[in-house]
Amino acid sequence: MTDTIISFTPVLAALVSLIAVIPIALLRKKPNLREIATFAAGIVKFLLVLSMLPAILSGSKIEYTLWQILPNMAIEFRVDSMGMLFGLVASSLWIITSLYSIGYMRGLKEHSQTRFFSFFAVSLSATIGVAFSANLFTLYLFYEMLSLATYPLVTHHQDKEARTGGRTYLTYLLTTSIGFVLPALIFVYLKTGSSMDFVPGGFLEGHIGAEAALLLLLLFTFGFAKAGIMPFHSWLPGAMVAPTPVSALLHAVAVVKVGVFCILRVYSGVFGIDFLCDLNLGTIITWIAAFTIVVSSLVALSQDNLKRRLAFSTIGQLSYIVLGMALLTPKGVSGGIMHIAMHAFGKITLFFCAGAIFEATGRKYISQMVGIGKQMPITMAAFFIGSLSVIGIPLAGGFWSKFYLLLGTVEDGQWTMLVVLLTSSLLNAAYFFPISFRAFFCKPEDSQFENKVDEAHPCAVIALATTALITAILFVYPEPFFSLAEAAAAKFTNP
C-alpha cells in the first residue's frame, strides 16, 4: 500500500519562482544580480522537486491542502509519479533555459529583460502547480494562470507580428478553457458532488451515462488546447513570434506539456482507464490523435521557417502522448508518459539550436542554412542528436518512449495505430534529416555562407550542448523517468 506524507514541499516548489519575481523586479538595474536571482530560484526549485523523488520512487504520495475554497473542494497539492516526472523535466530544464536566455537576450540586446525574466518565473510556478495539482479545480486554476502569464512573453517584441500572435494565442487558449473546460468542470462537480480529487481509476463511473461521458471527454480533450490537438493547434505556430527561449521552454516543454498533462490527468484521474475501456472511448481519441499526428507531420514537411517546422513537429509529438494514453494499455500509457520527458529534452535542444542559429547569423529559414554545419559544428551536432530523439532512433532517449508506444499498439492489437506511428516516424525523419544532411554535406559552391560565422554566445552553446548530452544519456540510462512512467502506468491501468 502507498502511504501519504503531508508536507509543504510541493507548495514551496510551486511558489518559489513566484516569490523570486520580487528580487528579479527589484534588481532590474543590476542585470547580473537579477540573473543570479533567477538561477537561485531555479536551483532551489529543482532541489525541492528532487528532494521528493526518493519518497515518490518508493511508492508514497506527498500531499498538502493549501486552502479550502468551496465546500469539499480545495486548492490542494499532491505529488505522484506522473506529476513528479513532469515536475522534474520542467524544473531541470528551467535552469538550463535560464542560462540560454541570458546568452540569447544579451546577444540580441533585447528590451524589457526584467519583464521577460519575471514572467518566465511566474510561468514556471504555474507549470509546477499543474504538475502537482491534486484535483481538477487546482489544475484549472494553474492552467489559466499559465495562459495569462505567458502572454507578455509571447508578445515580447511588442510589434505588429507579436500582437497578431498574441491575439491568436489568447483567443485559442481562453476560448477553449472558458468555453469547454469550465462547463465540463462544473458539470463534473455537480454530477459527482465530489471534491474532484484525481484518483487512479477515476471517479466518474456510475455518475454519468455513455453519451454524457463522450461529450465530457471531447470537451476536456479539445478544451485543454495547450495540447495542440487539431483543429485547436494554430496558436502554437502563431506563438513562435516569441523570443526563442520562450519557444524552447514554454512551447516545447512547459505550456504544451501542461496541455497533454491535463488531458492525461483527466483520462486517468477523472474518467479512469477502466471506465474509458468499458465505454470504448479510447478508440475515438486514438483516431483524433492519429489524425493530428499525420497531418501535422505533413504540414511540417512544407515549412521553411525552422521554428515553424519545429512547432508543427511539436503538435504531432504531443498527440503521440495523447495516443499512448488512449491506447489504454500499460505499455502504451507508460510510453505516452515517458514521451513527455523524452520529447522535452530532444525538442528543447532543437529550439535552442534554432535560436542559436538566429542569434549568430540572423537566419530563420531552412533554405538559408545549407552548409551551416561547417560554421557552427557544435550547434548542428546537437541539432542532429535532438532530431534523432524526436524521430525515435536509437542513441537518443526518444527511442524508448516510441518503442513503448509501439509495444502498446501491439499489446492491444491496434495495427492501424502501429502503421500511423511508423508512418509518422518516417515523416519525422523526412523533415529533420535533410536539415542536418545539408548542413554538413554540401558542395562548397552550394554553401550559403561566404564568410566565417562563429558559434552563438557561449551561454547558449553550453545550454544546447548540455541538453543534447542529456538526450543521448537518456538512451543509455533513461532513469528516473522510466521508473516513474512505469509506476504511473501501473497505478492507472490497475488501480
Partner 1 sequence: MTEQAPALILLIPFLTSILVAMIGIAYRGICWYLALISLAGSVCASFTTLIRVLDEGVIRYHMGGWAPPFGIEFRVDALNALVSIAVSVVAFITLVYSKERVETESPNKVSQYYTLFLLLITGLLGIVLTGDAFNLYVLLEVSALTSYALIAMGPKRATLAAFKYLIMGTIGASFYLLGVGYLYIKTGSLNMFDIQEQIVANDLQQSPTILVAFILITVGLWIKMAFFPLHAWLPNSYAFAPTTSSSIMGPLVTKVMIYVMVRMVLTVFGPVYTFEVLNWNEIVVWLSVIAILASSIGALAQTDLRKMLTFLIIAEVGYMVGGTWLANEAGMTGTIYHIISDAFMTLCVFLFAGIIFAKTNRRDINAVDGMFKKMPMTMIGFIVGAFSLIGIPPTAGFFSKWYLIQGGIESGNWEYVVALLISSLINAVLFFRIIEIAFFGRKPVEGHDHHHGDLHSKICEAPASQLISLWGTAAILLLIGLYNKDIAGIIQDFLLQFNLATGG
CB of 124 to partner 1, least distance (A): 19
- 82 grid coordinates: 506522473
CB of 399 to partner 1, least distance (A): 38
168 binds partner 1 (CB under 8 A): no
Q: Is the peptide bond before 480 cis (omega within 30 degrees of 0)?
A: yes
- Judged by CB under 8 A, which of 42, 107, 166, 408 binds partner 1? 166
Residue type, position 296, single letter: S
- 215 grid coordinates: 461529450
For partner 1, the closer CB: 147 or 375: 147
State how far the Cα of 273 lies from the Cα of 198, in Å rounded to an integer: 13
363 binds partner 1 (CB under 8 A): no
- Judged by CB under 8 A, which of 140, 312, 345, 384 binds partner 1? 140
Question: CA nearest 124: which of 255, 244, 5, 3?
Answer: 255
- Judged by CB under 8 A, which of 22, 33, 178, 395 binds partner 1? 178
DSSP calls for 336-352: HHHHHHHHHHHHHHHHH
Contact pattern for partner 1 over residues 100 through 119, marking x by CB under 8 A: -----------xx-------
22 binds partner 1 (CB under 8 A): no
Contact pattern for partner 1 over residues 60 through 79, marking x by CB under 8 A: -------xxxxx---x----
State how far the Cα of 149 lies from the Cα of 347, in Å rounded to an integer: 22
Q: Is the peptide bond before 231 cis (omega within 30 degrees of 0)?
A: yes
Span of 183-191, 196-204, 326-334, 475-483 interacting with partner 1 by CB under 8 A = 183-191
Q: How far is CA 250 from CA 17, 150, 167, in A?
A: 15, 8, 17
HEC assignment per residue over 103-138: HHHHHCCCCCHHHHHHHHHHHHHHHHHHHCECEHHH
Question: CA nearest 117: which of 254, 22, 240, 24?
Answer: 24
155 binds partner 1 (CB under 8 A): yes
Cβ neighbourhood burial of 450 (10 Å; 0-12, 13-18, 19+): exposed
174 binds partner 1 (CB under 8 A): yes
Q: How many other C-beta atoms are found inside a 10 Å radius of the C-beta of residue 207?
A: 14
- Judged by CB under 8 A, which of 55, 170, 277, 298 binds partner 1? 170
State how far the Cα of 23 lies from the Cα of 42, in Å rounded to an integer: 13
* Total residues in contact with partner 1, by rule CB under 8 A: 36
218 binds partner 1 (CB under 8 A): no
Q: Are 334 and 411 in contact (CB under 8 A)?
A: no
187 binds partner 1 (CB under 8 A): yes
- Judged by CB under 8 A, which of 33, 40, 186, 426 binds partner 1? 186
For partner 1, the closer CB: 157 or 374: 157
Span of 95-103, 167-175, 420-428, 468-476 interacting with partner 1 by CB under 8 A = 167-175
CB of 163 to partner 1, least distance (A): 5
Q: How many other C-beta atoms are found inside a 10 Å radius of the C-beta of residue 237?
A: 24
| Residues from 444 through 483 that contact partner 1 (CB under 8 A) | none
- Judged by CB under 8 A, which of 26, 47, 161, 434 binds partner 1? 161
Span of 32-40, 98-106, 166-174, 351-359 interacting with partner 1 by CB under 8 A = 166-174
CB of 144 to partner 1, least distance (A): 5
CB of 160 to partner 1, least distance (A): 5
- Judged by CB under 8 A, which of 8, 40, 54, 159 binds partner 1? 159
Any idea how long the chain is? 495
Buried b (16+ CB within 10 A) or exposed e, 343-362: bbbbbbbbbbbbbbbbbbbe
81 binds partner 1 (CB under 8 A): no
With a CB cutoff of 8 Å and minimum separation 6, the contacts of 231 are none
Q: Are 79 and 10 in contact (CB under 8 A)?
A: yes
For partner 1, the closer CB: 160 or 443: 160
| φ and ψ at residue 429, rounded to 5 degrees | -60, -40
**For the sheet containing 61-70, what is the strand order?**
4-6, 61-70, 73-79
179 binds partner 1 (CB under 8 A): yes
- Judged by CB under 8 A, which of 152, 201, 223, 238 binds partner 1? 152
Q: What is the DSSP letter of 230?
A: T
State how far the Cα of 281 lies from the Cα of 283, in Å rounded to an integer: 5
CB of 166 to partner 1, least distance (A): 7
CB of 193 to partner 1, least distance (A): 8
77: three-class secondary structure by DSSP: strand
For partner 1, the closer CB: 106 or 157: 157
CB of 67 to partner 1, least distance (A): 7
Given the rule CB under 8 A, which residues bind partner 1? 67-71, 75, 111-112, 137, 140-141, 144, 148, 152, 155, 157-163, 166-167, 170, 174-175, 178-179, 182-183, 186-187, 189-191
